[in-house]
Amino acid sequence: NAGVTQTPKFQVLKTGQSMTLQCAQDMNHNSMYWYRQDPGMGLRLIYYSASEGTTDKGEVPNGYNVSRLNKREFSLRLESAAPSQTSVYFCASSEKGVTGELFFGEGSRLTVL
Amino acid sequence: QKEVEQNSGPLSVPEGAIASLNCTYSDRGSQSFFWYRQYSGKSPELIMSIYSNGDKEDGRFTAQLNKASQYVSLLIRDSQPSDSATYLCAVALGVKTIFGAGTRLFVKA
C-alpha cells in the first residue's frame, strides 16, 4: 500500500526555471493538500483541494499554481522559481469527514539557486 | 499573530519523565485538534486527535483540549529516547488544517 507518493524527491532549479511537483494517493481520499516546511516555520499550507474539481488558496499561495487532475492526483507548479521557494514540500491527503487527519507523502526537497 | 502557536523548544526531559507540550490557537471557530510527530528528515505522522473539551488518552499519550482558553496540550508519560522528535500541533477549520511551528523534544537516556 503506497499511500501518498510524491515525485521528484529532490530537485535543483535555477532562478526563473519552472517545474511541477507530482502527488498521487491511492487511499480514495477526497481532500488533498500541499504544504511547505522551512526551518523554524512548521508546515505552511500552500493550496488545498477539498474535492475533485476544486482548489483553494492556503496561507502562502503566491508563486504557485495547482491542478487537481482527478481524485488521485494533485500537482503543484512553480512557474518561475525563486530562491525563496527553496524548501521541503509535502503533499497530504485526508478522507472526507475527517479533516485534519492527514496522511503525508515523503516530501520533495527543492533547492532554487 | 500566528493562528497556531507553540513554544519552539527545545524541551529536554530525562528518560521516564513526563513531557508536556503546549499549543494555543487564535480562531474560536476551530473544530478539530491534532498532534503530529515528525522525526528528523521524515514526514509528519498523526499521533493524537481530539475533538471535544477534556482529556483523551492513548497509551502513553494524553491530549487535553480547553476550547474556552483556546489551548491544546500533549502529555507523554514515561518518555523514551525514541520519543525525541518535533511535535506539531494542528488545528482544522473547515477543510483547512493549519500547523504550528512545532516543539523539539529531546529525551535523555
Cis (ω within 30 of 0) for the bond into B44? Answer: no
B35-94 per-position pLDDT tens digit: 999 999 999 999 999 999 999 999 999 999 999 999 999 999 999 999 999 999 999 988
**Cell numbers describing residue B30:** 476551530
Comparing B71 with A41, the larger pLDDT belongs to B71
Q: In which band, very low, low, confident or very high, does the pLDDT at A70 lie, cut at 50, 70 and 90?
A: very high
How far is residue B12's CA from residue B14's CA, in Å, rounded to a whole number?
Answer: 7
Residue A97 predicted with pLDDT over 80: no
Interface of B with A in 24-43 (CB under 8 A): 31-34, 36, 42-43
- So what's the pLDDT on residue B21? 97
Q: B67: helix, coil or strand?
A: coil
The beta-carbon neighbor of A105 closest among B33, B43, B94 is: B43
| Contact at CB, A48 and B96, closer than 8 angstroms | yes
Comparing B9 with A75, the larger pLDDT belongs to A75
Q: Nearest chain A Cα to B5, which residue?
A: A42
**What order do you get walking across the sheet with B4-6 strand by strand?**
B4-6, B19-25, B71-76, B61-66, B54-58
Region for B95 from its dihedrals, namely left if φ exceeds 0, alpha if ψ lies in -120 to 50, beta otherwise: alpha
Q: In which band, very low, low, confident or very high, does the pLDDT at A112 lie, cut at 50, 70 and 90?
A: very high
- So what's the pLDDT on residue A15? 97
B49: which chain A residues are within 8 Å (Cβ-Cβ)? 100-101
Mean pLDDT of A2-10: 94
Q: In which band, very low, low, confident or very high, does the pLDDT at A12 lie, cut at 50, 70 and 90?
A: very high
Mean pLDDT of B1-27: 91
CA diameter of chain A? 41
The beta-carbon neighbor of B43 closest among A31, A33, A106 is: A106
Contacts of B78 (CB under 8 A, 6+ apart): B16, B18, B60
User: How far does B102 lie from chain A, in Å, by closest CA?
Assistant: 6
Residue B96 predicted with pLDDT over 90: no
How far is residue A38's CA from residue A89's CA, in Å, rounded to a whole number?
Answer: 9
| Contact at CB, B99 and A90, closer than 8 angstroms | no
Comparing B7 with A5, the larger pLDDT belongs to A5
Inter-CA distances, B15 with B36, B103, B109, Å: 21, 18, 5
| Contact at CB, A45 and B97, closer than 8 angstroms | yes
Burial class (CB in 10 A: 0-12, 13-18, 19+), B56: middle
CB-based contact, A79 to chain B, within 8 Å: no
Chains A, B: CB contacts under 8 A, how many? Answer: 62
| Contact at CB, A42 and B88, closer than 8 angstroms | yes
How far is residue B78's CA from residue B96's CA, in Å, rounded to a whole number?
Answer: 33
